[in-house]
Amino acid sequence: MSQSLTGQEVRQSCRTGKLTAPTPGLASGYTQANLVILPSSVAFDFLLFCHRNPKPCPLLDVTEVGDPEARYVAPNSDLRTDLPRYRVWRHGEMVEEVTDVKHLWRDDFVGFLIGCSFSFEAAMLNANIPVRHIQEGKNVPMYKTNIACTRAGIFSGNLVVSMRPLSPADAIKSVQITSRFSLSHGAPIHWGDAAKIGINDIDKPDFGDAVTIYDGEAPVFWACGVTPQVALLQAKPEIAITHAPGHMFITDMKE
């Protein structure tokens, strides 16, 4: 698999079973997305949760009830087959990881595609701003905060953030850059003292890996696409399907 593929080519490789690996670095320049599939009985609540919490849950596309095609960001796609790997959740418990969900698809399913931070990281790198976890070959560190999301129906939970350590000058530039990426979590939500948002140990992320923070740098925090997954676990819907971590849906949208 190569950087030079299009989003459509990566989706096709997933569909034919050739690609089951993580997607970071694939189809460079194309927007990647988090996936959540839910039955229509809870789809209104989840859509409202995303609407009320646009920083962690920026919606790139929402399918019609029963339709597995993401018509706006990826015409002719099929959400049942076009990701390399899925997780299936029943009543809030992860029950299996699979490479397609054709056998599970139902007429009442709705797919939600939610922006992720890969797009703004590419823009930061282009502006010569270091992205520490990429430099160190790690997953981005993510933390549960004490900031409550706005509840919608059965969905609630605290905001999860990702963190990148930056010098003050780079932090200012990164605010300017990421403010333009409203479909990719937008501007940071906090900068500096981690305890202020309920993070007690910056070296112990709740998800992903710890990264080095050098002298003269401060941690900068962005809303993170893991937030809706935490809300899902708390809501415990009868069934939910998501992408497996790092195994994203690649759209036709240029970053």
User: Residues in the site for a copy of itself, rule: CB under 8 A?
Assistant: 40, 43-45, 47-48, 51-52, 59, 62, 64-65, 72, 110, 150, 152-153
The four Cα atoms 249, 253, 64, 229 give a dihedral, to 10 degrees, of 40
Please report how close the Cβ of residue 161 comes to a copy of itself at its closest, in angstroms.
23
Q: Which is nearer to a copy of itself, 71 or 204 (CB)?
A: 71
Q: Which is nearer to a copy of itself, 62 or 239 (CB)?
A: 62
Tokens 């899902």 correspond to what residue?
232
Helix (H) or strand (E) holding 43: helix 43-52
Distance from C-alpha of 107 to C-alpha of 21, rounded to nearest angstrom: 28
Structure-token pair, residue 132: 């520490």
Q: Which is nearer to a copy of itself, 43 or 116 (CB)?
A: 43
Please report how close the Cβ of residue 44 comes to a copy of itself at its closest, in angstroms.
4
- Radius of gyration of the CA atoms of the chain, in A: 18
Please report how close the Cβ of residue 72 comes to a copy of itself at its closest, in angstroms.
8
Please report how close the Cβ of residue 228 comes to a copy of itself at its closest, in angstroms.
15
Which segments within 5-140 are labelled E, that is strand?
A: 30-39, 59-62, 86-90, 93-98, 109-115
Q: Which is nearer to a copy of itself, 156 or 158 (CB)?
A: 156
Q: Which is nearer to a copy of itself, 170 or 252 (CB)?
A: 252
Contact 180, 119 (CB under 8 A): no
Please report how close the Cβ of residue 109 comes to a copy of itself at its closest, in angstroms.
12
